[in-house]
A and B are shown apart, each in its own frame.
Chain A
Amino acid sequence: MQEKRPNTIVVIALLILTAVTAFAAGFEASILAQGRRRAAYAPLPPLPSPTPATPVPLPSIPPTPTRPEEETFQIFWEAWGIIQENYYGDLPDMRTVTYGAIRGMLATLGDEYTSFIEPDIAAILNEDASGTFQGIGAFVRMRGDGKLEIVGVFEGSPAEAAGLQEGDLVIAVNGESIVGYSLYEAITLIRGPAGTEVTLTIERPKQGETFDVTVTRARLEIPMVQSEMLDGGIGYIRLHEFGATATEQLEETLRRVLAEQPRGLILDLRDDPGGWLSQAVQVADLFLGDGIILIQRSYEGEEVFRSYDGDLAEDIPLVVLVNGGTASASEIVAGAIQARGRGILIGERTLGKGSVQRPYRLSDGSELRVTIARWYTPNDVAIHGQGLIPDIEVPMPEEGESGGEDPQLERAIEYLLTGE
């Protein structure tokens, strides 16, 4: 009896043998199962019939439809199942794919102003739109060669204090090369809480030198307004954008300029891409007495935005400079001033963006800007796709041919001085 009973070693050996065999068999079975499936799409011979292959089941189970649209959406999973199984190149992460899907879905609306903004960029844009930010205080642009160029330094900013100049190239931040980064990636690295330090590696092409500079970040207000007293007693005010502090900054500037008793005022809205609707209304009100600024129509109905008596600059002769870069909130202000006969427009036809977007924060921090309304000038004219036509059209000479002249500004001065 004793001998016949299987001893422990034999049992264990048998178990191991079984386990190994089973594992191998399972592994092989999976290869077979997948191999069969693949054979249907084996590239050569690639297309056995005009309908070359049947759809691939997803590598894992797609979500069970919980909403009617997901039924329609199954075709998306089908397509991506095939891509995962067959695509030759590297696959992007699924977040990127989702963002691509959102953009593609929005593209079918045929409205270029309904747009999707990824979290990093949304954070910067929102900080900018608030009118203040925490950083070093420089205007930057991304050059074609992937280097970040400083195109301007705010007055009294840490950037200025550190000796940064227009034309400097930022090639690294805290030792991390940013060459080839996107504009917003670069900005994200440079910005940070006020009081903290950031070390920039600067290339200064003029002197052919590269050096490190440490800058202490601060909370800064984005300068949106620029002003100047021109010869002949003309006040000149340029508004760059309609951020959250635009009205406040403009009001302060107007007070200063008007104190010099100018005989006329030029409001330069050229290349001002707009901003907040509320700022457009408040800015327009500074120049307009009682009346309508704009009419907004949406599915929620019609809303009329008004201006009221009692502001700073309701009487002084006024010219607004506009061009093809004058858009949105700028067009609201220029359109109201023109339609109400408060002043004239000089320059070129404006962009023609007569729609209003509402920003929505999505759960992952990205932002969706959706067109929710159209707006109309006080005399109920739609400018969408049309733009505003200046009372006096003055083209700008091609870049390089101008020699620094500004015929539009000159025409505005002439108009204010001569009345025609």
Chain B
Amino acid sequence: MNHGMSEDRQLSDRNTNTEPTSDRQAALFGSLVLVLVFLLFFAGGFATHRMLNRRSVVTAAAWPMTVFWEAWDIVEQDFYGEVPPPKVRVYGAIRGSLAVLNDPYTVFLEPQTGEVERDRLSGSYGGIGVDIWRDSEDRIVLNPYPGSPAEVAGVRAGDFLLAVDGHSVLTATVDEVRARLHGEVGTPVVLTLSRPPTPTHPFVLTIVRQEIQVPSVSYRLLDQDPSIGYLQITSFTERTPQEVEEALRSLLDGGATRLILDLRDNGGGLIQPAVDVGDQFLDGGIILYEVRRGRQERAFRARRGGLATEPPLVVLVNGSTASASEMIAGSLQVQGRATLIGEPTYGKGSVQLIFTLSDGSSLHVTSAIWLLPDHRPLPETGLTPDIRVSPGEGLGDAQLDRAIRYLQRGE
């Protein structure tokens, strides 16, 4: 700004000192001066906003990372042992630098893990539809989803996976195997399998990937009381709102007059789908406030016209009810729309944005916190249920039983 001011004075001086030889010249000169002044101040304003808005400056000059490169060179020259490739060390540097934030939710995921994570959150992916795990003898075991491309092609539950597209999976992690099986819809993938109990000679199946949808919602009218609709959400994916809408229509059409929303063990997921689910149960009002650094807080209001704003509602929660699920449970509780039954929730009141970096890795960044409709932050100890019930022992579900009783008797 100072720079701009002094430039301006110079121009003005020159203007007053110069005797224009004609009006036309004077006008031309005047316009030129105005344009220059405009440009200068435009740039000044632009820069000022940038300066005010900048939190800390990352430049090569301010932060040359000299020490980092010194350490890098020493390791390359003198470390006695195997030095992993540069990319691995850079990923390590990113992880280490994020660790100083001391925030367990701000994390870096390498490309393959990041890809699997994105598939999980999108609720669908191109794949063959199998569950994968490693057994106690370190073999990769498959279990196809009913009706999935894998099952149709002949994969049977318990088959051992030896290779994908000719590459052995013996030393691969389960996430890596998953990433290799996922791919664009319509592309083929070649599995080399062996089948127990008498391990056969390896055989090969070629399977064309299709869109595999991972359901996040299950629902039913309860056997114990068919007037109660039970709706369980296991995580909030992009497809959850649509699934919830279908589930609610089906339950209400089937005669449900009371509802149980089961958010136990729901670790969260995407926020917008969670807000959309909240819309179905709330007739207006605030669902949550979101607070980002250096910006105005933002209120999320429930849209009117939800399918289930009237029926009595119990929300089941437990210690693994976290993040987006806590947000929904909390706003239903604060608004007096639902009774929470179960155990205190996890207590994660922050919001992460997920960014995909240019090499396919991804970065989860804690970017905001949210506040309950009464403007309180979520307590670190989580939400306290209105009726505290421990899961109980044995096969029964004491929390669900309590919810049924509550809906039947109103207490």
List residues of A whose CB falls within 8 A of some B CB: 4-6, 8, 11-12, 14-15, 18-31, 34, 41, 43-47, 49-56, 58-64, 67, 69, 72-84, 86-89, 91-94, 96-111, 114, 116, 298-299, 355, 358, 360, 362-364, 366, 368, 370-374
Contact = CB atoms under 8 A, between A and B. Distances in A.
B176 interface: no
A105 B33 CA distance: 55
Contacts of B363: 79, 82-83
Contacts of B55: 84, 91
Contact of B96 (A50, A69, A100): A100
User: Which of B44, B75, B97, B108 has the most CB atoms of chain A within a 10 A radius of its CB?
Assistant: B97
B214 interface: no
B352 to A, nearest CB: 9
Contact of A88 (B38, B60, B125, B367): B367
Interface string B57-83: 111101111111111101100111101
Given A75-B358, A76-B97, A371 B81 contact: yes
17 contacts: A18-B34, A24-B45, A27-B46, A30-B45, A43-B271, A52-B356, A56-B355, A60-B57, A63-B59, A63-B64, A86-B355, A97-B97, A99-B67, A102-B71, A108-B84, A360-B74, A370-B75
A193 to B, nearest CB: 28
Given A104-B95, A355-B80, A370-B74, 19 more contacts: A15-B12, A15-B34, A21-B41, A26-B43, A31-B49, A43-B353, A47-B270, A47-B272, A49-B122, A54-B356, A75-B90, A81-B58, A86-B367, A98-B67, A105-B75, A105-B89, A114-B75, A364-B67, A370-B75
B204 interface: no
A7 to B, nearest CB: 11
B238 A101 contact: no
A25 B43 CA distance: 9
Contacts of A23: 41-42, 44-45, 48
B89 to A, nearest CB: 5
A244 B214 CA distance: 64
A21 B39 CA distance: 10
Contacts of A116: 71
Counting from the closest, the 7 A-B pairs by CB-CB distance are: A104-B96, A26-B45, A63-B60, A22-B41, A108-B92, A26-B46, A23-B45
B275 interface: yes
Contact of B57 (A34, A59, A103): A59
B98 interface: yes
A234 to B, nearest CB: 41
Interface of B: 8, 12, 15-16, 23, 26, 30, 33-34, 37-50, 53-60, 62-72, 74-75, 78-81, 83-84, 86-101, 103, 106, 108, 118-119, 121-122, 125, 238, 270-272, 275, 290, 292-293, 298, 300, 350-351, 353-359, 361, 363, 365-369
Nearest to B106: A87
User: Which of B56, B64, B71, B350 has the most CB atoms of chain A within a 10 A radius of its CB?
Assistant: B71
A29 B356 contact: no
A260 to B, nearest CB: 44
Given A26-B46, A89-B101, A370 B353 contact: no
A363 B69 CA distance: 11
Nearest to A355: B80
Contacts of B351: 43, 46, 88
Contact of A362 (B50, B57, B71): B71
Contacts of A46: 270-272, 351, 353-354
Contact of B79 (A20, A28, A29, A370): A370
Contacts of A110: 81
A105 B72 contact: yes
Given A52-B353, A75-B359, A83-B98, A4 B23 contact: yes
A89 B366 contact: yes
Contacts of B37: 15, 18-19, 22
Contacts of B63: 94, 97-98
A88 B350 contact: yes
Contacts of B356: 51-55
Contacts of B359: 75
A296 B55 CA distance: 50
B94 A101 contact: yes
Contact of B119 (A30, A50, A364): A50
B293 A87 contact: yes
Contacts of A114: 75, 79
A363 B68 CA distance: 10
B57 A44 contact: no
User: Which of A47, A53, A360 has the most CB atoms of chain B within a 10 A radius of its CB?
Assistant: A47
A292 to B, nearest CB: 21
A86 B44 CA distance: 25
B328 to A, nearest CB: 14
Contacts of A372: 78-80
A19 B293 contact: no
Contacts of A41: 353, 355
B235 to A, nearest CB: 13
Contacts of A61: 59-60
B128 to A, nearest CB: 18
B44 A87 contact: no
A89 B103 contact: yes
A374 B87 CA distance: 27
Nearest to B49: A30
B358 A55 contact: yes
Contact of A55 (B30, B69, B270, B355): B355
Given A50-B118, A97-B97, A370-B78, A78 B60 contact: no
A109 B75 contact: yes
User: Which of B58, B63, B83 has the most CB atoms of chain A within a 10 A radius of its CB?
Assistant: B58
A44 B96 contact: no
A92 B101 contact: yes
A105 B90 CA distance: 6
A88 B293 contact: yes
Contacts of B50: 30, 34
Contacts of A45: 272
Contacts of B58: 58-60, 62, 77, 80-81, 84, 94
